[in-house]
């Protein structure tokens, strides 16, 4: 039996239950705090928004939420604890880093002129997993890494190598961000070539295209893939995502696919208003879309209850080291 770090302590893999593998409570592009006209972060408001939005997901049977917010994306550990405690769902907190373009690479990039930052990035990951994050007492349960569009930068390559080493040292799984679904096979190759067990890797945002050849080329590396932006119609239409899912489930990949929505309930910084057209494309982008719309669509296409259970319970559990 595998042990899993949650924000309220260690649990067994068999306690994970129905799991959303890639969501956020709050989200920030760092740098927002330099915006003199941005309202300050309001944790109470974030807490209310998260509880309100996640209550419905709990009613659909949600037991565990993986908060994929890396160290440089506005991660709020105290909030994660508050929400987990209030709703009685497990929250698994991530350690790791966002893309060079949108994260906070500057510090490590500066140090890379004189120091081995692969080692330093790895030390950060291992510290947050084994000793805890700051003085919160919370240990990270998953490693998050990210690469930019159609290219893995030198910084991102070091980040992936650090993640691979930390994975092998601590046993926690790696989940990734790919930009528009690009660089999936390259991420998998890099991690596997560093000795990571591919079964402990989930290549993320693979639902950014409907190219089955591409999906298979990632799956052939032995890793899991995540359709974890379901509902974000502004990136790619759900109809085609569902068609791909049905195809992949139909040819034997049920035990290698994870479903999630990449939602958040509160954004730091100035309000960000979408146009009416974008709003309509994001109408289903909620924490319950998988339960409310995706699973029924799969069932309608003949996907069995058993397979749904594998997607929502079995696969997350195996990714975390369960049998």
Q: What is the contact surface with Zn ion in residues (CB under 5 A)?
A: 68, 262
Among residues 69 and 254, whose Cβ is nearest to Zn ion?
A: 69
Among residues 68 and 143, whose Cβ is nearest to Zn ion?
A: 68
Are 315 and 17 spatial neighbours (Cβ–Cβ below 8 Å)?
no
Sign of CA dihedral 75, 187, 236, 249: negative
Are 63 and 88 spatial neighbours (Cβ–Cβ below 8 Å)?
no
* Residue with the CB atom nearest Zn ion in the bound state: 262
Q: Minimal CA–CA distance to 90: which of 69, 60, 131, 62?
A: 62
CB of 173 to Zn ion, least distance (A): 15
Helix 154-170 / helix 184-193 crossing angle, nearest 10 deg: 50
Among residues 2 and 263, whose Cβ is nearest to Zn ion?
A: 263
CB of 85 to Zn ion, least distance (A): 23
Among residues 46 and 249, whose Cβ is nearest to Zn ion?
A: 46
Q: What Cα–Cα distance (Å) separates residue 87 from each residue in 152, 256, 291?
A: 38, 29, 18
Alpha carbons 278 and 273: distance in angstroms, whole number? 10
Alpha carbons 59 and 56: distance in angstroms, whole number? 5
Alpha carbons 158 and 319: distance in angstroms, whole number? 23
Q: What number of helices (H) and strands (E) belong to the chain? A: 13, 12
User: In this structure, how many other beta carbons lie within 10 angstroms of the beta carbon of residue 315?
Assistant: 22
Among residues 148 and 254, whose Cβ is nearest to Zn ion?
A: 148
- Give the three-state DSSP class for 92: strand
Among residues 76 and 262, whose Cβ is nearest to Zn ion?
A: 262
Q: Minimal CA–CA distance to 167: which of 202, 217, 116, 215?
A: 202
CB of 28 to Zn ion, least distance (A): 12
CB of 257 to Zn ion, least distance (A): 17
CB of 321 to Zn ion, least distance (A): 22
CB of 204 to Zn ion, least distance (A): 7
CB of 22 to Zn ion, least distance (A): 5
Among residues 68 and 138, whose Cβ is nearest to Zn ion?
A: 68
């Amino acid at each position: 039996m595998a042990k899993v770090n949650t924000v309220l302590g260690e649990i067994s893999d068999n306690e994970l239950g129905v799991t959303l593998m890639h969501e956020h409570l709050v989200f920030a592009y760092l740098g927002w705090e330099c915006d003199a006209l941005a309202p300050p972060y309001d944790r109470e408001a974030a807490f209310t928004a998260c509880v309100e939005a996640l209550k419905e997901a709990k009613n659909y049977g949600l037991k565990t939420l993986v908060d994929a917010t890396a160290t440089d994306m506005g991660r709020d550990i105290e909030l994660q604890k508050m929400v987990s405690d209030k709703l009685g769902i497990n929250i698994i907190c991530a350690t790791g880093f966002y893309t060079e373009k949108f994260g906070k690479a500057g510090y490590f990039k500066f140090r890379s002129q004189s120091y081995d930052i692969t080692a330093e990035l790895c030390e950060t990951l291992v510290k947050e997993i084994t000793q805890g994050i700051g003085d919160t007492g919370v240990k990270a349960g998953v490693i998050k890494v990210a690469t930019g569009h159609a290219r893995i930068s030198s910084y991102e390559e070091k980040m992936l190598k650090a993640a691979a080493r930390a994975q092998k040292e601590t046993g926690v799984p790696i989940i990734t961000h790919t930009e528009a679904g690009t660089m999936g096979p390259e991420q998998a190759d890099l991690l596997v070539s560093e000795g990571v067990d591919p079964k402990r890797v989930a290549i993320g945002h693979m639902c950014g295209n409907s190219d089955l050849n591409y999906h298979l080329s990632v799956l052939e590396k032995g890793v899991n893939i995540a359709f974890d932006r379901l509902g974000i119609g502004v990136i790619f239409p759900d109809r085609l995502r569902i068609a791909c899912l049905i195809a992949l489930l139909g040819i034997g990949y049920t035990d290698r696919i994870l479903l999630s929505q990449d939602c958040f309930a509160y954004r730091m910084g100035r309000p960000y208003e979408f146009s009416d057209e974008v709003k309509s494309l994001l109408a289903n982008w909620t924490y319950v879309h998988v339960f409310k719309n995706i699973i029924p669509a799969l069932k309608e296409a003949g996907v069995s209850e058993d397979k749904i259970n594998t997607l929502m319970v079995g696969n997350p559990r195996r990714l975390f080291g369960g049998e």
